[in-house]
Structure 1
Amino acid sequence: MKLAIVGGGSTYTPELIDGFARLRDILPIGEIALIDPAEQRLELIAGLARRILARQGSPARVTTSTSVTSGVDGADAVLLQLRIGGQSARHRDETWPLECGCVGQETVGAGGLAKALRTVPVVLDIAEQVRASNPAAWLIDFTNPVGIVTRALQDAGHRAIGLCNVAIGFQRKFAAHLGVEPERIRLEHVGLNHLTWERGVTLLDEPDGESGREVLPELLDRFGERVAQDVRMPLTLLESLGVVPSYYLRYYYQHDAVVRELGARPSRAEEVAALERQLLALYANPSLNTKPELLAQRGGAFYSEAAVQLIAALLGTDGRSRTQVVTTRNDGILPQLPDAAVIEAPATVDAKGVRPLPQRPLPPLFAGLVAHVASYEELAVRAAVAGGRARVFDALLAHPLIGQLDLADQLTDRLIAHNHGYLSWA
């Protein structure tokens, strides 16, 4: 089996490699192809990847390529983890919206739209190259904004699925609170990527079983303060809602407070850039053969485990179906959304594909925001694919955190100015 990682020169790649090595019985890999235009950095990451695999006794070999076409040739699955413009573009995404009093973030609001406009055309080009060489390959999208990128891929007819670490992060934390194996926790996770709520938590009688009992009220009662600290929202809100919102709901529920916070400290991009410099220095040490502890600060916890579970199910390597939270086409699961909308929810995943599980109707408090953001995401895909100032403006005007004529106009001009070199139509 061959896996290809587009963006393989990322400092995050050793986390994936570590997961592939540890979980090789679930997902036996013969070749891992790292693909990245940054050749020097690519070879540095590949060297560490080989040492990690060797230390853990994995037979997988690591190859490198600066060409997508040659790198993905023969791959059974292609992982997309791109950052077009690097941390410098991310820094801009996180700062210029603040000039207009709006949240600056790489997936939410105007900054998220800017990243989508830079990213979607590149990802679609990569997807076409994959389809030309091996149309049966699955595209696994880690690239933010995952919802918008995944919808663009699915709208273009690609065999694509999105994956985020929010759900598996909650699963692991809830399991730790209760002192049980993660496989005994099943989430009723629903919404859109980076706009989700845990509105049910089942403690299964046995790992990956079917029967169990609801424990969300118990979690909030016994561990509410710790859960609230994790999502950085008041416990009183969680108790009032009766759910656990993802951290990203903070940008909606506490927008103005978050804007003040962001304006008073360095951007996350600056923090990550400094971390990456330290990580690259560590990776250059030829005696290093494990992922360094510092990598945990990079973000993306548990992505490797989620990726292994998803790919193993899709490729049928362990001969079983899995229930896993993924980002995929709605197809009537949330009836207030169009079928083509991309939702994030538990799904049955196996060699036959991905089938989202039925969901209870969303209450109005959640349904309205989900419908609003889903409409913005549809307009964001149009702007990213077709370009044009008018489409960018429409997407910003539709976003629930913007929605004002003058504000959308200012943000449109700033977005285009800061991303001019990445927009073919600008």
Structure 2
Amino acid sequence: MDLTALTRPELSDRLAALRDEHARLKGRGLRLDLTRGKPSAEQLALSEPLFGLLEPGDHTAQDGTDCRNYGGLHGLPELRAAFSAPLQVPVEQLVAFGNSSLELMYECVVDAVLFGVPGSPAPWPREGRTAMLCPVPGYDRHFGLCEKLGIEMIPVPMTESGPDLDEVERLVADERVKGIWCVPKYSNPTAVTYSPETVRRLAAMETAAPDFRVFWDNAYAVHGVQGPDEPLADILALSAQHGHPDRVFVFGSTSKITAAGSGVAFFGSSSANVSWLLGHLSKRTIGPDKLNQLRHARFLPDAPAVAAHMERHAAVLGPKFELVDTVLEKRLGGSGVASWTRPRGGYFVSLDVLDGCAARVVALAGDAGIALTPAGATFPYGADPRDRNIRLAPSFPTVEELRDAVEGLTLCVELAAVERLSADADGTR
């Protein structure tokens, strides 16, 4: 049913019916959560063998490192070798560190603010206000990091092939613009994989700031869920070819591969950038948890082992993404008030509702016991100018819980839309 084509009396009848249905939904006492992309218990169980791999006395890495002791800031070579190809970073230019890639992103931005990066004429703030480009909709934790450090965020629209590069190239002519956030594969939340041309232009473009950095958060490098894997061009190699070897900071982790809170994070870049980061890390730590790295290296000894493990994740996640699409299509297909992505990988579905309705949908769902990511979270400062985007995270609930949550969500989308359309028809908005 195309809700936008209903007459005023039809809207009034539909509104009354939807309000009754919403009241019944509230009466069910649901407690469901679609807020964050957490692995489910079933996914976490896939890595359970990881924790029993080290027997007493088994603590030596391939190069003879005693993993119980200090040192090894660069990370175990065998683990770096296993993730070199998935992250598209040469082994010697890849750092394996603690359990969080977000921690490494924060470290890099803080160090840039305090000291500058290789090629910086001065620490970032001393040259005036610092800004970063933020493709939208995007990852709220990137935005929170910038806001915490007082870095201005400039939204850039996402397209089906990545950020709008015409807009990016226009904006980087301003020397205040020091970087861009990118989730280049199965992007959060749109699931877009950057096209080869987008990657090439990011690598080759001229920027006014000599120390411009691409923060390449490749969080979903191996996280396909349906169909063949989507290839991603090698931005590190392309940047070097185009005369910008220090441009890219690559980040990745095993957070959605093994144990979300007990994994390993990675940083990859040019040799100069790696030396820069290790120099700063050495002032605050004697080394990472190498026993955890050794466990991971035994569990995932090479890139084929990583790929095989991720196929098991896909077997769990794929049906959940299919369920979301099926329910959304059944209830909202052809309604004229909603559109959504159909991801082939990653962790999210991006739902666009009628302009001006996202916050109302979230509130209606919350009243019915369905927790959603706050409206606006996928935009800098939490402000979606069209108030329409909602990020859905299908991974954590069971299939039964997910079905209830998405069916309830579709009711709230329809109710919010009919409220808005009725107000427009009555001239009360």
Report the TM-score range of the alignment, normalised by the length of the smaller protein.
0.3 to 0.5
Which structure is higher in RCO with an 8 Å CA cutoff and minimum separation 6?
2
By percentage of residues, which structure has more helix? Answer: 1
For the pair shown, the structure with the greater C-alpha radius of gyration is 2
